[in-house]
Amino acid sequence: MKTFKHILVAVLVMIVSGLMTYYLKPNNPIMVVLPFLTIGFFIFNLIIRKSLLFKNYFTSPYNLFTTKVCYQKSYDIPKGLMFEKIIEVIDNSGFKLVETNKEKLEILAISTITFKSWGENIYISFESNVNETIMKFCSTTLFQMYSWGKNEKNYNNLLNDIESSLIV
C-alpha cells in the first residue's frame, strides 16, 4: 500500500511538472527537462532505498541530495548478541526493518514518510573493540537537503528503545 502511495505521489508530481512546462512555456530547453530529471532522480532514490547495496550511495559525503548524521556508541555486549538485540528493538519500534546482513552484521531500517520528511534510511553496523561492541548508526534522508532534526530524533529514539530493552 505504501509503495502505491509513493507511485501516486511521483505520478502527481510528474503531471504537475508536465502541466507547468505546458502552461508556462519556458523558452529554455533546460527548464523543460529539469523537472523531469528531478522526478526521475526522486523515483530512482525511492526504488533503491530498500537495499543495503546502496548504503555507500546514501551515506556518501558527495551525495548532496541527502542529509546524513552518523554516531557511534559502545556497549559491553558481544556484537552477535547486540545485532540480534537491535533487530528485536527495531521490530518493536516505529522503524521498519527492511534488510539485514548477518555475515557483515549490518541492518537497514526505514522511517515512515511525514510532513517533514520523505523518510529516512537508518544504517546500523557493529565492530568489536577489545571487550566492547561499537554500534555505528547512520541516518540519512531520502531526498532532501535538510532533515529538520529527523536524523537526530531517529538516533535518540533508537537509543531510548535500546536502553529500555536492556533494563531487566
pTM above 0.85?
A: no
pLDDT at 94: 86
* Residue position matching grid coordinates 534510511: 121
pLDDT at 3: 61
pLDDT at 73: 93
CB atoms inside a 10 Å sphere around CB 45: 20
2 vs 38: CA distance, rounded Å: 21
pLDDT at 63: 86
Closest by CA to 32, choosing from 22, 44, 40, is 22
Q: Which amino acid is at 150?
A: K
* Average pLDDT per 10 consecutive residues for the chain, totaling 168 residues: 64 72 68 75 85 92 88 91 92 91 94 83 92 93 83 90 80
86 vs 98: CA distance, rounded Å: 13
> Cα 149 to chain center, whole Å?
14
